[in-house]
Structure 1
Amino acid sequence: MLPAYLPNPVAALCGGGAPIDAGRQYRDGRRFFGDGKTWRGLFAGIMAGVAVGVLQIWASGAYDISMLPQQTFLSVALLSVGALLGDLAKSFFKRRLGKERGAKWPIADQYDLVAGAFLLLLVFSPAWLFSEVTLLSFICILILTPLLHRATNIIGYVLKVKEVPW
């Protein structure tokens, strides 16, 4: 899951610049995503996820790491892009509900990246998803994701990258 876990914090760290929605509003009068979703953050996050995934591919070839899922370039790209698309989708619905940037949205805030990553895998590489993500690894993902989400958000808050620690 590293290619899915890494893009969000990197996007927050490297973000800024032009917002993805270019300031446009949806028909409800609210922004599509808001200022926190930028092109620079999106591309930096995807590149970081792909880079760590390529490193995993190399490491699995150089070392015997058969207990981990065998990444492919496609799986790495889908995990990375899907994680950030899941985050964008969550932001879109968050705005529709009238929640401001940084407002808590339990469960959605923690699992948006997992949902986006798995949805893209399901659509574009279902064979990889069902062969490499076992029930045990899926349960581990469900348990570890909120813990990692909380830890990275606290770190981001301490480093002044995030305005709130959640």
Structure 2
Amino acid sequence: MDPSVFSVLILSAYAIYFMLPAYLANASALTFGGGTPLDMGRSLKDGRRLLGDGVTWKGTIIGILIGTGIGLFQGIITGDVVQNLLMIGDPGIFKMVQGTITLTMIQGMLLGLALSSGAIIGDACGSFVKRRFKVERGHPVPLMDQLDFVVGALVFASLIVIIPLNLIITIIIISVFLHLGANIIAYLLGMKNVWY
């Protein structure tokens, strides 16, 4: 295999692995959502809902918990790979436990929390923008629908790790196709009313 192709495949696989807490948080919020909306039914002066019924407390909490748990699990099984590949800084609070499983677990959990929280908040921001532009729930806004949660996750994760530009670009490209594929599967399974 051509080394450059192999490098692209490795980077793509790592991009998916890195974003797994965000991807699963976003999917979990949809799958396990329902109930009380995050905006508590409030509307702004424009008469339109703040977020809408699609963003719920239950989905938000479950999504963040699942994403954080995935991050913790990744921290346990990954060891120092995350630190080596993403150049995670060396905050003073962790210096005494450098290289131990505790450090890796804490880093994984924090990164999972950042990615999942960012994904959920990014998705909520997307809903907020859609409501302001009078886009009804379930109607598509190309690229924003696929990338709002990704941008949120990357912004939050960048607060605790340095994410290389080539990884960011790979994540964005892959996420568009993964999100569309996941939505098509959810539609075929009857979990979504639309395929996009």
Task: Normalising by structure 1, report the TM-score.
Answer: 0.88
Alignment of 1:58-97 (within 5 A): 58-61=76-79, 65=81, 69=86, 72=107, 73-97=109-133
Indicate which of 23, 36, 54 corresponds to 1:18. 36
C-alpha distance in 1 between matches for 2:85 and 2:57: 32
Letter in 2 for 1:76: G
The one-letter amino acid paired with 2:186 is G
Q: Is the 8 A contact 2:25 2:120 kept in 1?
A: yes
**For residue 134 of structure 1, what is the aligned residue in structure 2?**
164
Counterpart Cα distance in 2 of 1:68 and 1:47: 25
Shift of 1:101: 0.4
Select which of 42, 51, 56 maps to 2:69: 51
Q: Partner of 2:37: helix, strand, or coil?
A: coil
Q: Structure 2 CA distance, aligned partners of 1:49 and 1:95?
A: 26
The answer on 1:98 being equivalent to 2:128 is no
Matched, 1:117 2:153: yes
Q: Secondary structure at the match of 2:184?
A: helix
1:161 aligns with 2:191: yes
Q: Which amino acid aligns with 2:133?
A: L
- Give the Å deviation of 1:118: 2.0
Does the 8 Å CA contact 2:71/2:110 hold for their aligned counterparts? no
Change in 2 beyond 3 A, CA 1:68/1:2: farther
Asked if structure 1 preserves the Cα contact closer than 8 Å seen for 2:68 and 2:110, the reply is: no
Per-residue CA shift, 1:92-145, capped at 9, x if unaligned?
0100000000111011111111211122234x32xx1x2xx2232222102100
1:149 is aligned to 179
Runs of 4 or more consecutive aligned structure 1 residues displaced over 6 Å after TM superposition = none
Aligned counterparts of 1:142 and 1:20: Cα–Cα separation in 2: 27
Identity, in percent, stands at 43
Query: In 1, Cα distance between the equivalents of 2:30 and 2:169?
Result: 27
Task: State the one-letter code of the partner of 2:172.
Answer: L
Equivalent AA in structure 2 for residue 141 of structure 1: I
Structure 2: gaps spanning 5 or more residues: 1-18, 89-103
- 2:53 matched to which residue of 1? 35
Q: Hey, what does 2:25 align to over in structure 1?
A: 7
| Distance (Å, rounded) in 2 between the aligned partners of 1:159 and 1:45 | 20
Q: Which residue identity is paired with 1:115?
A: V
| Residues in 2 aligned to 1:3 and 1:51: alpha-carbon distance in whole angstroms | 8
Question: How far is the alpha carbon of 1:68 from its aligned partner?
Answer: 5.4
Instruction: Give 1:77 shift.
Output: 0.8
* RMSD of equivalent CA atoms: 1.8
Aligned residue in 1 for 2:100: none
TM-score, structure 2 normalization? 0.75
